[in-house]
Structure 1
Amino acid sequence: MEQTFQSAYQEEKRRLDATIAEIDRQLQRLRSIEVYTGHDFTEQVLEAGREEKRQALAKSLPAPYFGRLDFQGGKDLEPRPLYIGKIGVDHAEIGEQPMVIDWRAPIASVFYSFTGGDEPAAYEAPEGIIEGMVYLKRNLVIRQQILERVSDTFDRSSDQPAVSDEFLVYRLGENKDNKLRDIVSTIQAEQDKIIRAAKNTALIIQGVAGSGKTTVALHRLAYLLYQYKEQITAEKMIIFAPNHMFLDYISNVLPELGVADIQQSTFADWALQLLGIELPVADASETLAYWFESAGGMPEVTDEAPGRFKGSIAFMNMVRACVESMENASVPEADFIPWEGAVLSRDTILHWFHEEYKPYPLAKRKERVMARIHRWIEMELKKSPSATVLKERKKKASQREKSYASKWPKYEPLMLYKMMFKAAKMQAGWPEEVLKPIPGGIMKSTQKDLKQNIIREEDLPALLYMHYLLNDITGEQRFDHIVIDEAQDFSPFQVAVLDLFVKGHSFTILGDLSQGIHAYRGVHVWEEMSSLYAPDQTAYFALTRSYRSTMEIIEFANRILEKGVKSDLLAVPVFRSGNPVRLIAYGNKGQQRAQELRKGMQKLSAGEYRTVAILTRTLQDAQALYERLRPDMPELHLIDGAKKVYEGGLSILPVYLSKGLEFDAVIVADADEQHYGASAWDAKLLYVGCTRALHELWLMHEGPLPDFLQNMNEDIAVAGW
């Protein structure tokens, strides 16, 4: 066995050395060509191609590939060794098989989809389906041109021709830094199906914690740019993430895959910029805190909760009806008289507005009508009998034109939205039968917010929809593809509005209903989103395998879902065992809480763990604990929602801000029934906290544990240090 391994290692080392030498030769040749800076278009195009090749070769040089697939397919008489990397590299000689095949190429899909056995493997090529046999599937770890690991996950010549998870477990066992990493070398078959799914589909992905759904979505963007490079551009793709820190956390993945210029934003930032509104949006954490504190816990969420109601398609229909009702009330009542003796009848203006310019949205229609009126004035002015009369009529017409324009409604979304929620809505011309279904509590609370210029995230879909109905959207504002992360916190109205801004329903919508801690405004079942589309416009995938945490942590978290949420969306762990989860009581009735938490963090960070976090119940708890611990732990970071950069190392943050992040080790502070009650929402919140841990999870508490943490098996959880 050792001799076989050494033989394989030496074979791969020779191949690597030869590949690096060839890449370096090509790179030096391209660098020796003087960079063209002239104005000849043809030469500019050639230079752009050379520069793209220089960058690709330079990026490939440290680690040209990560996998080998020996495949006999099509017209091949013998198996061909195919080396797969992040970036494809051709031989210098035209017609030669590529030295390195891009991981997004059709044949590379076999590397990810093949799961062993004697059956043929197949991939879809431009010329049709190609079938063949896999003889070897090999993973390689190359860092800075050094071959560190050779691992055969399948070998047909072996006595045990079965795919092994050994390499995957090895990669999952690595410690975390402050950035999310690409998974291109360990993409699994179920993930690859999502990555390579058709473009013009609203893809909905339910993924358990740690299933890699965010990373899969980012790899899907890179794949779409490769597969549809003639149809889409990176600049016309956007990722919506829950906060700026999460955007920073995922910021390295796309550049590592050779992709740049994809837009990244929060929904609120993008919406406010598009609307031209400079008012701040109330932070989601403020809304969460308000709900929790006002109700003494998470209240029961009904469809009449403000976020649920304003996020519904029913409310979307109300907004549309209100905007459409303005059509009949838009044209001022009287004829337009620029000066005595000249009359443009209201009937003529109504004809222009309702007939000739009907295809235009209201704001554009008003612009067209006012421009038509201006041209009519100019024609009438030409009939003036003298220069003196012309001058007098011009002055009077200018004043009356401005006065007439001011009598039209102002088509500004925020102003109209405020009018929707005015008590005297009939005076504003709104149809009472349309607005009557708005619950009284929502009417009053929104009136109060808008009077104080407070906008909440659930108000933004309505404002965007109003903007669309009044102005339409330009080609520059329309995306080729949209990714929505943590989509369980989005509303159907949000997605329906975004669908107006994307071509061909091209979405990747991903989330986890078990982590729906913003249930007061998010979806409760994925059908709320899939029902927005025809059956052939949407597809649903479930990722149930968790790659993040050890078996012990996943089994512990699953018990929380089973007992606290009554959910069957349970994670299936990869076989990677670690230490049991620890349930640790504070000493001396909690008076030593800060010291105990400091002790725990120091114990965990003293070893090989690079990222350790304390998760508190509220932001106030995190801030207070940070002030207590910081003097003795200057390297400690507070994550409070205002931060835009995740710095790694030692962190303190409230549990609701930890979604999407992961740490080598996690301490959940105050995991008792006082801080986490018996509601499903409390259980979801604790589930989020527990599933942030890769290798080690400790829960510290003062009083009794919540019911859903009682009676955990000793092989999953143990008491004490």
Structure 2
Amino acid sequence: MSTRAHDPLAEPLDDPLARERAHLAASRSALRAMREDVEALDIRDVTANWVNAEVLARQIDDRIKALADLSDTPLFFGRLDYLHAPGADRTEGAEESKRREAPSRPGQRWETSGRFYIGRRHVHDAGGDPMVIDWRAPVSQPFYRASKKDPMGIGLRRRFGYTGGDLTAYEDEHLSDPADPSVAPATSKLLQQEIERPRVGPMRDIVATIQPEQDEIVRAGLGGTLCVQGGPGTGKTAVGLHRVAYLLYAHRERLARTGTLVIGPNRSFLHYIEQVLPALGELTVQQATVDDLVAHVEVRGTDDAAAATVKGDARMAEVLRRALYSHVTMPTEPVVVVRGSRRWRVPAYELEELVGQLLERDIRYGAAREALPQRIAHAVLVQMERAGEAPDDRVQDAVARSSAVKAAVKAIWPAVDPAKLVLRLLTEADFLAEHAAGLLDEDEQKTILWAKPVRSVKSAKWSAADAVLIDEAADLIQRTHSLGHVVLDEAQDLSPMQYRAVGRRCTTGSATVLGDLAQGTTPWATRSWAEALAHLGKPEGVVEELTAGFRVPTDVITYASRLLPHIAPGLTPVASVRENPGFFEVRAAGSTHDVVAACEELLRNEGSAGLIAADARVPALAEALAAAGITYLAPGEETTLDTRLTLVPASLAKGLEYDYVVLDEPQAVVDGEPDERTGLRRLYVALTRAVSGLIVTHAAPLPAQLTE
């Protein structure tokens, strides 16, 4: 492996770096021409109506945005020289890539038939020949997976180094040379530099540094559900987002019809990751929290931990089902339909058979209610035919809409509002006791009952857990729309009922579940991924584990891993693969002034900084920072502007990362949670947010688990 860096000034044309720069310039020109071609499209005479024109115009606008050339983002980051030109790929989802991956024309001045430049998006010249290959194309896969043991037909893999948008270095790996294939190649310097590059602003993509074990997850098929267990710094969030980008590339038409959704733990987290997919050219993926998905009512209340735990338990699904179907009443009176001079009578026993058949089919409550009038009307039509009449479908529809049938359906199978159903369970002790019998004990029932009566759904102070119950009830009544693929991040904090809410959004699709059991910080945190996948409705899901740490320095992750035996004894500790051990120090702090001084010290370095503290201590620290004249941001407000310090409540730290972190009072972080185990998990999260350096400040004694 060789690395070469050069002055970005003019160089001889026979210099390899000069040739690569020439290809970069030509590729940028080609991309600009592609964008101009789209901008020049005239659609005035190709659409039948204004609706089609609006849709087409929006698609063109999205295409123009996807072809944007970001000056500080490398257009390509690698090159593959195949020993032999690869054949056309014929696998599912490769239709779009067939044309893109074709070898360039013989004699083309910047490529040979087996040479491919790998980048974030496809770029072709005026003749349609590829100048940059999309990283998701099958021909690009060896860039991430080829090795001396398995070169995958690659003679040379070249990585490029950039300063801003300028190509300033390259690094070669000769994978098919006569060297002993059992000897691992030296660590890529450019790869290490990219991994350790300072983080400022929102999360960025990792497309240039995806590792083989990550690439296997990214390129896994769409058909099955995948669960990724990954400790801090293993890149599970980035892997999940790049997996979305890959699936949209390989199954564009299918997912365009069925939809794709990324679910995060909170708005701050979603804001932090929102630029990753657009940077990869994907502009249409929706992002939401679980609370967004179940927003049937306005959430204005909160639950204590005990109530939220019971409401989030999977047993509540059966309580709701029992309560809903208790509204179905077996008929005791016949239905009499008058048509002209004739009266048609459907006896009670026949109605009871119809109701029983619908209950046995186990279809949605609302669907069964809609089917019942037609079942009754059909029974009337059978009688008409026996009497010698010849009724048709219009007659059956008329009978189904008759006042007698409507009245019978209302009495037998009444309409139920999901919010009113949940409100009744939470406010009427007898109603709850009847339908929770054998599921919830008396103490659990008392825990979730509201202390004060509520007049209406609108006046109720619903909690987040209540909203999930309403969503469950709504799905029992009417099936929830299913998407093609859902990515669920920080999944370890979801309750069983929240998993069910997410699972309803992908019943006919698949899911990618991302999380770390050691970072579960809710009282109902996931105990095992098998249990979580069962609640999600995907028990066949495959669990993969990421153990190589690319973000957290060795000294920091080693210190934080002291907590693992106490919070997740079965998990493998993350092994940092970073060459830079990072900066790590534990120091005594007599007051908030010492904490501020630590922040000032870290801000002298390049990159972002975070001050993480127990939620209760944030106001005092904010006041101390303001008194010192230090500006700071709240989580989710991070930009590339001059303000590089973020003040982070420990409850919002999950999923975020900063170059340098000051962690204030570890024991206060532990004490801020309902129990010690949850507190230690919250501390584990806070300790592992640093990319380059961590200072732990404390006046109180450190938790005993950190001093063992």
Q: Shorter-normalised TM-score: what interval?
A: 0.7 to 0.9
Pairs within 5 Å for 1:91-106? 91-94=125-128, 96=129, 98-106=130-138
* Corresponding residue for residue 580 of structure 2: 577
Pairs within 5 Å for 1:621-640? 621-633=617-629, 635-639=631-635
Does structure 1 retain, via aligned residues, the 8 Å contact 2:549–2:575?
yes
Distance in 2, Cα, partners of 1:316 & 1:207: 30
Does structure 2 retain, via aligned residues, the 8 Å contact 1:552–1:577?
no
Corresponding residue to 2:561 among 537, 558, 570: 558
Residue 11 of structure 1 aligns to a residue in which SS? helix
Does structure 1 retain, via aligned residues, the 8 Å contact 2:2–2:173?
no
Does structure 2 retain, via aligned residues, the 8 Å contact 1:240–1:483?
yes
- Compared CA separation, residues 118 and 482, structure 1 to 2 (3 A): closer
TM score, norm. by length of structure 1: 0.78
Pairs within 5 Å for 1:126-205? 132=153, 134-142=154-162, 146-154=166-174, 156=176, 162=185, 164-205=187-228
2:693 matched to 1:696? Answer: yes
Pairs within 5 Å for 1:90-489? 90-94=124-128, 96=129, 98-114=130-146, 116-121=147-152, 132=153, 134-142=154-162, 146-154=166-174, 156=176, 162=185, 164-233=187-256, 236-272=259-295, 277-280=296-299, 282=301, 290-291=304-305, 306-326=307-327, 329-330=328-329, 333-334=332-333, 346-347=348-349, 349-355=351-357, 361-369=364-372, 405=410, 409-421=414-426, 424-425=429-430, 435-448=437-450, 451=453, 453-473=460-480, 477-489=481-493
Instruction: Provide structure 2 residue ranges, at least 5 long, that are not aligned to the other structure.
Output: 7-14, 88-102, 104-111, 381-401, 455-459
Distance in 2, Cα, partners of 1:667 & 1:307: 32
Q: Which amino acid aligns with 1:624?
A: A
Does structure 2 retain, via aligned residues, the 8 Å contact 1:674–1:703?
no
Distance in 2, Cα, partners of 1:450 & 1:233: 47
Residue 139 of structure 2 aligns to a residue in which SS? helix
Does structure 2 retain, via aligned residues, the 8 Å contact 1:153–1:164?
no
Does structure 2 retain, via aligned residues, the 8 Å contact 1:153–1:163?
no
Q: Which amino acid aligns with 1:280?
A: V
- Compared CA separation, residues 278 and 667, structure 1 to 2 (3 A): same
Q: Which amino acid aligns with 1:214?
A: T
2:655 matched to 1:654? Answer: no
- Compared CA separation, residues 599 and 54, structure 1 to 2 (3 A): closer
Distance in 1, Cα, partners of 2:694 & 2:581: 10
Superposition deviation, residue 65 in structure 1: 1.1
Superposition deviation, residue 47 in structure 1: 8.3
2:25 matched to 1:8? Answer: no
TM score, norm. by length of structure 2: 0.79
Judge which range, 412-421 or 450-459, deviates more.
450-459
Aligned residues: CA RMSD: 4.1
Residue 637 of structure 1 aligns to a residue in which SS? coil
Instruction: Provide structure 1 residue ranges, at least 5 long, that are not aligned to the other structure.
Output: 122-131, 292-304, 378-396, 588-592, 712-721
- Compared CA separation, residues 104 and 48, structure 1 to 2 (3 A): same
Distance in 1, Cα, partners of 2:35 & 2:319: 61
Judge which range, 562-571 or 43-52, deviates more.
43-52
Q: Which amino acid aligns with 1:323?
A: L
2:90 matched to 1:71? Answer: no
- 1:224-266 alpha-carbon deviations (Å, 9 max, x no partner): 1111112112871111111111111111001101111211111
- Compared CA separation, residues 634 and 437, structure 1 to 2 (3 A): same
Distance in 2, Cα, partners of 1:189 & 1:171: 16
Distance in 2, Cα, partners of 1:686 & 1:316: 33
Corresponding residue to 2:596 among 595, 598, 610: 598
Corresponding residue to 1:679 among 673, 676, 680: 676
Q: Which amino acid aligns with 1:417?
A: V
Give me the identity figure in percent: 25
Judge which range, 403-412 or 623-632, deviates more.
403-412
Superposition deviation, residue 597 in structure 1: 1.5
- Compared CA separation, residues 500 and 631, structure 1 to 2 (3 A): same
* Corresponding residue for residue 705 of structure 1: 702
Does structure 2 retain, via aligned residues, the 8 Å contact 1:655–1:685?
yes
Q: Which amino acid aligns with 1:649?
A: R
Q: Which amino acid aligns with 1:14?
A: A
Corresponding residue to 2:505 among 501, 504, 520: 501
Does structure 2 retain, via aligned residues, the 8 Å contact 1:200–1:504?
no
Judge which range, 75-84 or 495-504, deviates more.
75-84
Does structure 2 retain, via aligned residues, the 8 Å contact 1:489–1:523?
yes
Does structure 2 retain, via aligned residues, the 8 Å contact 1:79–1:135?
no
Distance in 2, Cα, partners of 1:3 & 1:110: 20
- 1:480-516 alpha-carbon deviations (Å, 9 max, x no partner): 1111111001234433443333154500001001111
Superposition deviation, residue 372 in structure 1: 8.3
Distance in 2, Cα, partners of 1:189 & 1:709: 33
Distance in 2, Cα, partners of 1:141 & 1:231: 36
Residue 630 of structure 1 aligns to a residue in which SS? helix
Distance in 1, Cα, partners of 2:617 & 2:125: 59
* Corresponding residue for residue 514 of structure 1: 518
- Compared CA separation, residues 534 and 154, structure 1 to 2 (3 A): farther
Distance in 2, Cα, partners of 1:366 & 1:623: 54
Q: Which amino acid aligns with 1:99?
A: M
Does structure 1 retain, via aligned residues, the 8 Å contact 2:223–2:510?
yes
Distance in 2, Cα, partners of 1:201 & 1:140: 35
- Compared CA separation, residues 679 and 658, structure 1 to 2 (3 A): same
Residue 507 of structure 1 aligns to a residue in which SS? strand
Distance in 1, Cα, partners of 2:669 & 2:119: 51
Distance in 1, Cα, partners of 2:551 & 2:368: 54
Superposition deviation, residue 104 in structure 1: 0.6
Distance in 1, Cα, partners of 2:490 & 2:462: 21
Does structure 2 retain, via aligned residues, the 8 Å contact 1:549–1:691?
yes
Does structure 2 retain, via aligned residues, the 8 Å contact 1:307–1:522?
no
2:44 matched to 1:37? Answer: yes
Corresponding residue to 2:606 among 587, 595, 608: 608
